[in-house]
Amino acid sequence: MKKVIYLLIMLFCAASLLVSCKKTNTTETVTETVTVDDPALARVPAHNNTAEEDALIMDFIKEMYENSLFIENEFLESHCTPNLLQQLKDDYDYEGEGYANWDFRSDSQDGFGEQTGILKIEKIDGRYYYEALDGGVKFRNILSAFVQDGKVLFDGIMRDESYNPE
């Protein structure tokens, strides 16, 4: 009996090790996806981007947010992977079909003021954390992105629930 339990524990450890070492690619690109260690971050796959790609992505995030480009379906369909488009469809909580473009904003209902814009963008573990104001309300989102053929593509998004705006 002890041998069976020991064998099962060894198999579980080996399987866990294999899963944690496996690298997956959620899109058909040459961009490598980094393993997700935190299950909460599974919604935002990490990507290995070059420093040049990081700069392009961060500039694009700022432009996208500050010009509210995310409210246009054409923009979303052009700059989101099928993975993110499905997330936005799943998050859409109205009758009919659509995209939950509000996932790019805060939870506020249009905020309490005129202040809107990016405060800070940083790359952490292959993901982009953008801190912003939404009508005066501070928030931070985690965004997955990569560059394919010179074009920025978003691959997942979620609110950073651990963010404390002070």
Architecture of the structural domain at 2-159:
Roll (3.10)
Give the pLDDT of residue 24.
35
109-115: average pLDDT: 65
**How far apart (Å, rounded) are the C-alpha atoms in residues 61 and 49?**
15
37-66 pLDDT per residue, tens: 577 799 999 999 999 999 999 999 999 999
Please state the φ and ψ torsions of residue 44, each to the nearest 5 degrees. Answer: -125, 85
Residue with tokens 């299950």: 39
Report the Cα–Cα distance between both ends of the chain, in Å, rounded: 55
Give the pLDDT of residue 135.
85
Give the pLDDT of residue 62.
97
Give the pLDDT of residue 23.
35
74-84 pLDDT per residue, tens: 999 999 999 99
- 38 Cβ contact partners less than 8 Å away, ≥ 6 residues apart: none
- 32 Cβ contact partners less than 8 Å away, ≥ 6 residues apart: 23, 25, 47, 48
pLDDT at residue 35 greater than cutoff 60: no
pLDDT at residue 85 greater than cutoff 50: yes
pTM for the predicted model, two decimal places: 0.75
pLDDT at residue 113 greater than cutoff 80: no
In DSSP notation, 68-134 reads TGGG-HHHHHHHB-HHHHHHHHHH--SSS----GGGGS-SSSS-SSS-EEEEEEEEETTEEEEEEEE
User: What percent of the chain has a predicted confidence (pLDDT) above 90?
Assistant: 66
